Chain A
Amino acid sequence: METALEEQLPRFKEDGHREGDRAYVLADWTQNPEADLLSGETRAILTRAIDSLPAHYRAVLILRDVEELSNEEIAQMIGVSVASVKSRLHRARMALREQLTRQLGPRV
């Protein structure tokens, strides 16, 4: 099911700092063994997060990060600017990162 991507992007205060309590903005789960092993649970979270992306974000993410096509190749294939490919890719990654952090980061 698609969820609003906007809800999963980082929010910023007026001074440019990221919003959220300290434990949350400092959450770094990259050394968490679940992330390394891509355990069943992490795999399920990630698959769900990818499925929940709007289709045109999901497709760009897969073409770039899984299929490893270049931004330029994708732009040409889908008929949009390179800037638009980059923007969709970045937003898609941030949304997935947010989902993983909610699950693997500190409970808030």
Chain B
Amino acid sequence: MTCKEAIAKLAEYLDAELTPLDLAGFEAHLRVCEPCRAYLATYRKTKELAAKVNRVDMPEELKTRLHALLVDQIRRTS
């Protein structure tokens, strides 16, 4: 597995969605590739920080409205 292929699989790796074969290949690559270990660590941290910086407690009703707003935004721009 190359770095390019390993980085393409990061999200699925974090979601534990890789097939056993892909997981074995991914982990074997990480063992020998320091840049990809750094990439994985910083990618994972980015995800945590993004959640932390944006997380606010809000009532369910407001949350539903936020979701609707985001969906509307996606529909208008994609």
Query: Chain A interface (Cβ within 8 Å of chain B)?
Result: 10, 12, 15-18, 25-30, 35, 38, 42-43, 46-47, 50, 54-56, 58-63, 65-69, 71, 77-80, 86, 89-90, 93-94, 96-97, 100-101
* Whole-angstrom CA separation of A78 from B74 in the bound complex: 7
Interface of B, secondary structure class, is helix
Query: Chain B interface (Cβ within 8 Å of chain A)?
Result: 2-5, 7-8, 10-12, 15, 34-39, 41-47, 49-55, 63, 66-67, 70-71, 73-78
Q: Of the candidates B5, B52, B63, B77, which one forms a contact with A55 in the assembled complex, judged by CB atoms under 8 Å apart?
A: B77
Query: Is there an interface contact between B45 and A30, defined as CB atoms closer than 8 Å?
Result: yes
State the Cβ distance, B12 to closest chain A Cβ, in Å.
Answer: 7
* Whole-angstrom CA separation of A54 from B11 in the bound complex: 19
Given known A-B contacts A25-B38, A55-B73, A97 and B55 have beta carbons under 8 A apart: no
Query: Is there an interface contact between B39 and A86, defined as CB atoms closer than 8 Å?
Result: no
